[in-house]
């Protein structure tokens, strides 16, 4: 197990926090690789530290600062992490740490993110002590990027990766329909059925446009997508055997110059069992096509399906 630990831990990538405290042990700063947000509401931040002046101050004062180092602060991180508060007064070193007064502890200038936290929990976790605090103030600098530590070295964040989403342009009406389906969510997450009856494929008309689309439903969060697809097909008069997931297509839907919507389509392969041709609600709203309508969105979704 020690061999595993000695090698595996180097492959984690983390930001580096400059943890600031104040108390009988004096104003202090330490470098903590293990610092992370663990809750949105309330905003909780956890740090993992050893028994040290930082922990002594935290237990006494009930406050601590989490200053996420920017990628131009590697030198002060080295100093903060290279010495203990029992050895030197790190914050008193001239022309090294530039600080400002927080509500209860000193804070470090020039960081990508700075949060002052009120202690909520202190708990021993393995060979460290986990301290969880609620953020009572937070500032950030959009021009700063966090310093990254991995494989024993400090690194900068590289360029932004391409999203991998396929861009599909839609008519304003079709875009508005997908926007409505998203329910205001940042990403539209829909389940799509590719239903075949022999060589024909089922398509349905979208409600607010004349565009054809594969049967699609937006399941509620936590809902089984396969069951949601089955129920949706029954609601439009189609009995089908759902064979399984054929794939997931991630798209960027666009209309005009300004409107865009991220969309994830989970595509299910289905075989039709029975069709209610006399369903009044489906009159002119669905159809079986030997050749699919010419539509880039449909073409992309059907790529998962074997002819």
Nearest to 16, CA basis, from 36, 2, 37: 36
What is the pLDDT at residue 303? 86
The Cα–Cα gap between 72 and 249 comes to 39
What is the pLDDT at residue 278? 46
The Cα–Cα gap between 177 and 180 comes to 5
Please answer whether residues 12 and 36 qualify as being in contact, where contact means their C-beta atoms are separated by less than 8 angstroms: no
Task: Indicate the DSSP class of residue 281.
Answer: G
What is the pLDDT at residue 280? 41
Global confidence as pTM: 0.78
Residues of the chain with CATH 3.90.79.10: 166-302
Per-residue pLDDT of the chain (307 residues; tens, 9 = 90+): 556 666 788 889 999 999 999 999 999 999 999 999 999 999 999 999 999 999 999 999 999 999 999 999 999 999 999 999 999 999 999 999 999 999 999 999 999 999 999 999 999 999 999 999 999 999 999 999 999 999 989 999 988 888 889 999 999 999 999 999 999 999 999 999 999 998 899 999 887 767 899 999 999 999 999 999 999 999 999 999 999 999 999 999 999 888 999 999 999 999 998 555 544 444 568 889 888 888 889 988 998 765 4
Chain length of the chain? 307
Nearest to 209, CA basis, from 258, 170, 160: 170
What is the pLDDT at residue 286? 86
How far is CA 178 from each of CA 41, 45, 212, 250, rounded to the nearest angstrom?
Answer: 30, 37, 13, 14
The Cα–Cα gap between 127 and 113 comes to 27
First to last CA, the chain: 51
Out of 3.40.1020.10, 1.10.375.10, 1.10.3720.10, 2.30.110.10, which CATH number does the structure's domain 2-155 have?
A: 2.30.110.10
The Cα–Cα gap between 199 and 133 comes to 60
Task: Indicate the DSSP class of residue 70.
Answer: B
What is the pLDDT at residue 139? 96
Question: In CATH, what number does 166-302 get?
Answer: 3.90.79.10
What is the pLDDT at residue 282? 47
What is the pLDDT at residue 307? 44
Cβ neighbors of 270 (< 8 A, separation 6 or more) are: 193, 194, 195, 196, 229, 233, 240, 241, 242, 243
Q: For 48, phi and psi rounded to 5 degrees?
A: -120, 115
Please answer whether residues 229 and 271 qualify as being in contact, where contact means their C-beta atoms are separated by less than 8 angstroms: no
What is the pLDDT at residue 221? 92
Residues of the chain with CATH 2.30.110.10: 2-155
CA torsion, points 26, 32, 38, 41, in degrees to nearest 10?
A: 40
In 3-state terms the chain splits into helix, strand, coil percentages (rounded to 5) of 20, 45, 35
């Amino acid at each position: 197990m020690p061999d595993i630990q000695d090698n595996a831990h180097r492959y984690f990538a983390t930001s580096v926090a400059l943890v600031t405290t104040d108390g009988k042990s004096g104003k202090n700063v330490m470098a903590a690789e293990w610092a992370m947000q663990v809750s949105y509401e309330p905003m909780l931040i956890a740090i993992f530290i050893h028994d040290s002046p930082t922990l002594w101050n935290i237990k006494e004062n009930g406050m601590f600062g989490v200053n996420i180092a920017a990628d131009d602060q590697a030198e002060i991180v080295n100093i903060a992490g290279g010495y203990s508060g029992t050895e030197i007064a790190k914050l008193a070193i001239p022309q090294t740490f530039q600080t400002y007064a927080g509500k209860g502890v000193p804070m470090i200038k020039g960081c990508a993110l700075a949060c002052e936290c009120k202690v909520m929990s202190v708990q021993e976790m393995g060979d460290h002590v986990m301290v969880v605090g609620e953020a009572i103030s937070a500032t950030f600098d959009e021009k700063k990027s966090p310093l990254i530590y991995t494989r024993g070295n400090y690194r900068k964040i590289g360029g932004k990766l391409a999203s991998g989403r396929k861009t599909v342009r839609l008519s304003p009406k079709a875009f508005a329909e997908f926007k409505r389906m998203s329910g205001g969510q940042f990403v539209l997450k829909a389940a799509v059925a590719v239903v075949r009856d022999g060589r024909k494929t089922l398509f349905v008309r979208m409600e607010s446009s004349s565009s054809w689309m594969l049967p699609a439903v937006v399941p509620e969060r936590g809902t089984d997508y396969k069951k949601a697809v089955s129920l949706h097909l029954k609601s439009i008069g189609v009995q089908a055997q759902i064979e399984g997931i054929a794939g997931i297509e991630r798209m960027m839907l666009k209309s005009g110059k300004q409107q865009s919507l991220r969309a994830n389509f989970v595509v299910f392969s289905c075989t039709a069992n029975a069709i209610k041709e006399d369903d009044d609600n489906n009159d002119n709203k669905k159809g079986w096509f030997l050749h699919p309508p010419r539509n880039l969105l449909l073409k992309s979704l059907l790529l998962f399906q074997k002819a």
